[in-house]
Structure 1
Amino acid sequence: ATTWSAEDNIVWKTPLPSWSGATPVIHGERIFLTSPSAGDVGGPGNERRPGGDNLLLMCLDRRTGAVRWTETIDSGNTLHRKGNSTSPSPVTDGAHVWAVTGNGVVTCRDLDGREVWGRNIQEDYGNFGLNWGYASSPLLHEGVLYIEVLHGFYTDEPSYVMAIDATTGEVRWRVERPTDAPREAPDAYTTPVLLEHGGAMQLVVTGGDYVTAHDLKTGHEIWRAGGLNPTRSDWFRIVASPLAVDGMVYVPTRVKPLHAFRAGGEGLVTESHLAWTFDGRAGPDVPTPACDGSRLYIVNDQGLATCLDARTGETIWGPERTVRGTVSSSVLLADGKLYITNEDSTTVVLRAGDEFEILAENTLDGSYTLSSPIAAGSAIFIRTGTHLYCIDDAAE
Structure 2
Amino acid sequence: MRLVIAGLFCTVCLASVVAETNWPGYRGPRENSRADEAKLPITWSETENVVWKTPVAGKAWSSPVIWGDRIYLTNSNEEGSYYSVVCVDKNTGKVVYDKRLYSTPLPQYCHPFNSYASCSPVIEEGNLYVSFGSPYNACLDPATGDVKWERTDFVCNHFRGPGSSPYIYGEMLILQFDGSNFQFVTALNKKTGETIWRTDRSVDFDDIVAATGKPEREGDWRKAYSTALAIEVEGEPLLISLGSKALYAYAPADGKELWRVELGKSHSGACRPVYENGLIYMPIGAGKELWAIRPKKDSAEVVWKHTRSVPRRPSVLVLNDLLFMVDDDGIASCLNAITGDTFWQKRLGSNFSATPLYADGRIYFLDEVGTGHVVKAGQEFESLAENKLDGGCMGSPAVSDDALYVRTKTDLYRIEKSKGK
Query: Please, what TM-score do these two structures have when normalized by structure 2?
Result: 0.82
- Please give the alpha-carbon distance, in whole angstroms, between the structure 1 residues aligned to 2:102 and 2:165: 16
Identify the residue that residue 73 of structure 1 maps to in structure 2.
Answer: 101
Match in the other structure for 1:62: 90
Distance across 1 between alignment mates of 2:278 and 2:383: 30
1:335 aligns with 2:371: no
1:131 deviation in Å? 2.6
Q: 1:213 to 1:52 in 2, by over 3 A?
A: closer
Whether 2:175 is the aligned partner of 1:135: answer: no
- Structure showing the higher helix proportion among its residues: 2
Corresponding position of 2:75: 35
Amino acid at match of 1:321: R
Q: 1:262 aligns with which of 283, 294, 307?
A: 294
Counterparts of 1:263 and 1:394 in 2: how far apart (Å)?
45
* Aligned mate of 1:24, from 54, 64, 70: 64
1:387 matched to which residue of 2?
A: 411
What secondary structure does 2:197 align onto?
strand
Q: CA deviation at 1:95?
A: 1.5
| Deviation (angstroms), 1:62 | 1.0
Q: How many residues align?
A: 363
1:1-396 correspondence runs (5 A): 1-36=41-76, 50=78, 53-76=81-104, 79-110=110-141, 111-122=143-154, 126=155, 128-152=156-180, 155=181, 157=182, 159-181=183-205, 182=207, 183=216, 184-226=220-262, 228-229=263-264, 232=265, 236-253=267-284, 254=286, 256-267=288-299, 269=300, 273-280=301-308, 282-317=309-344, 319-322=345-348, 324-365=349-390, 367-395=391-419
State the alpha-carbon separation in 2 of the partners of residues 135 and 35 from structure 1.
Answer: 13
Q: Which is bigger in relative contact order (C-alpha 8 A, separation at least 6)? A: 2
> Which deviates more, 21-30 or 52-61?
52-61
In the TM superposition, residue 293 of structure 1 has moved relative to its aligned partner by: 3.1
**Partners of 1:103 and 1:203 in 2: CA distance:** 20
Per-residue CA distance 1:51-85 (angstroms, 9 max, x = gap) = 66321111111111111112111223554222222
TM-score normalised by the chain length of structure 1 = 0.87
Contact 1:85 1:103 in 2 (8 A): no
Alpha-carbon shift at residue 342 of structure 1 (Å): 1.1
Contact kept in structure 1, 2:120 and 2:130, CA below 8 Å:
yes
Question: Which string of whole-angstrom CA distances, capped at 9 and with x for unpartnered residues, describes residues 225-252 of structure 1?
Answer: 11x23xx36xx32222211223211120
User: Quick one: which amino acid aligns to residue 389 of structure 1?
Assistant: Y
Which deviates more, 378-387 or 95-104?
A: 95-104
From the superposition, tell whether residues 255 and 329 of structure 1 become closer, same or farther in structure 2 (CA, over 3 Å).
Answer: farther
2:17 alignment partner in structure 1: none
Give the aligned CA root-mean-square deviation in angstroms: 1.8
Unaligned runs of 5+ residues in structure 1 are 38-49
Cα 1:255/1:361, change in 2 over 3 Å: farther
Question: Match for 1:243: what amino acid?
Answer: V
Change (3 A) 1:148 1:16: same
Deviations 1:157-209 (A, max 9, x none): 4x111111111111111111122223422210111112221223211111221
Q: Give the partner amino acid of 2:87.
A: C
Asked if the contact 1:255/1:284 (under 8 Å) is kept, the reply is no
Whether the aligned pair in 2 keeps the contact of 1:329 and 1:342 (CA below 8 Å) is yes
CA distance in 2, matches of 1:395, 1:388: 21
CA contact (8 A) 2:129 2:138 kept: yes
Q: Aligned equivalents of 1:359 and 1:51: distance in 2?
A: 40
- State the alpha-carbon separation in 2 of the partners of residues 81 and 293 from structure 1: 37
